[in-house]
């Protein structure tokens, strides 16, 4: 290859990167304009909350929460030990959320012994990245959620020495799960961000979808586990990814 060929190839590569950068900026601007633009009809928090309940996963989680609460009240015998596991869960949740997002939702399909190992969670998450405005894809798939609901209470009942502690932990997990579903839905809904804290979370997740899918993995918080695990860079220093909407594709 001659020097002129090398120069032409370099220019072509730079042009592709520039085009990807412009496309990502345009997608981010269009999405944020849809949620915050002055010409769009405002969507209230109450409207957003009502629409949240049109989807199955919030009702599934709420059912577990209500059942665990009723059983815990019936069991009685509250002690300070009941608070240990829920407090630890809340403290660790940003890191747990980061781990699930990176290793479960961004799972790359693998061939093992002639079989493709993939999950509904990973498949739906790839579809979610392809179209972040497709609201049903924002929620945990109900089949996968049903498996989780069947497994984690059984594990909790075996893991804790007292029934009361197990029920309190099941209740806490359901509450945190419902908070996650609501936050993720609110971020992708048409509700306009109000308040510095929510806007930071809102912006953080949009950077993950429209700037670079390799950073900003937390959903319910901003700058927590991402800072600790070094996935919270200055956006100006991060190249715009050409694969944010097509996970695992060749750039």
193-236 pLDDT tens trace: 888 899 999 999 999 999 999 999 999 999 899 999 999 999 99
Range 99-113 average pLDDT: 94
Structural domain includes residue 65: yes
Range 184-192 average pLDDT: 94
Strands 115-117 and 110-112: antiparallel
Range 109-113 average pLDDT: 89
Calpha distance 148→141 (Å, rounded): 11
Which residues lie closer than 8 Å to 85 by C-beta, 6 or more apart? 160, 165, 168, 169, 172
Distance of CA 12 to the CA centre of its chain: 35
Structural domain includes residue 213: yes
Which residues lie closer than 8 Å to 226 by C-beta, 6 or more apart? 98, 204, 215, 216, 217, 218, 232
Structural domain includes residue 42: yes
Structural domain includes residue 52: yes
* pLDDT above 90 (res 55): yes
Range 99-126 average pLDDT: 94
Structural domain includes residue 208: yes
Q: Is the dihedral of CA 133, 139, 140, 142 positive or negative?
A: negative
Of 52-61, 66-75, 173-182, 242-251, the range with the lowest mean pLDDT is: 242-251
Q: What is the pLDDT of residue 223?
A: 86
Range 48-53 average pLDDT: 97
Structural domain includes residue 248: no
Answer yes or no: are the C-beta atoms of 104 and 217 closer than 8 Å.
no
Q: What is the pLDDT of residue 35?
A: 44
Structural domain includes residue 69: yes
Calpha distance 222→45 (Å, rounded): 21
Percent of the chain's residues with pLDDT above 70: 83
The count of domains in the chain is 1
Q: What is the pLDDT of residue 5?
A: 64
DSSP state of 83: G
- The structure tokens 């806007």 sit at 199
* pLDDT above 70 (res 25): no
Calpha distance 158→155 (Å, rounded): 5
Q: Residue 27: pLDDT band by 50, 70, 90 thresholds?
A: low
Domain extent for 129: 3-237
Range 59-75 average pLDDT: 97
What would the two tokens of residue 158 be?
């075996």
Q: What is the pLDDT of residue 132?
A: 95
Percent of the chain's residues with pLDDT above 90: 75
Range 134-139 average pLDDT: 96
Structural domain includes residue 158: yes
- In angstroms, what is the C-alpha Rg of the chain? 21
């Amino acid at each position: 290859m001659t020097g002129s060929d090398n120069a032409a190839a370099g220019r072509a590569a730079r042009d592709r990167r520039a085009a990807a950068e412009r496309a990502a900026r345009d997608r981010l601007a269009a999405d944020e304009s849809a949620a915050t633009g002055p010409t769009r009809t405002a969507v209230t928090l109450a409207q957003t909350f009502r629409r949240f309940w049109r989807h199955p996963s919030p009702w599934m989680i709420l059912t577990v929460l209500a059942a665990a609460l009723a059983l815990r009240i019936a069991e009685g015998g509250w002690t300070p030990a009941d608070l240990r596991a829920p407090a630890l869960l809340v403290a660790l949740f940003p890191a747990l959320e980061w781990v699930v997002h990176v290793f479960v939702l961004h799972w790359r399909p693998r061939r093992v012994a002639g079989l493709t190992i993939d999950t509904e969670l990973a498949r739906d998450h790839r579809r979610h990245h392809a179209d972040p405005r497709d609201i049903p894809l924002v929620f945990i798939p109900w089949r996968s959620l049903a498996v989780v609901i069947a497994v984690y209470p059984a594990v909790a009942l075996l893991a804790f020495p007292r029934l009361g502690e197990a029920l309190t932990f099941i209740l806490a997990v359901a509450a945190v799960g419902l908070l996650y579903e609501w936050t993720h839905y609110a971020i992708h809904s048409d509700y306009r961000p109000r308040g510095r804290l929510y806007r930071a979370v809102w912006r953080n997740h949009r950077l993950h979808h429209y700037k670079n899918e390799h950073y900003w993995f937390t959903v319910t918080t901003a700058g927590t586990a991402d800072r600790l695990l070094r996935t919270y860079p200055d956006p100006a220093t991060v190249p715009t990814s050409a694969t944010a909407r097509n996970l695992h594709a060749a750039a």
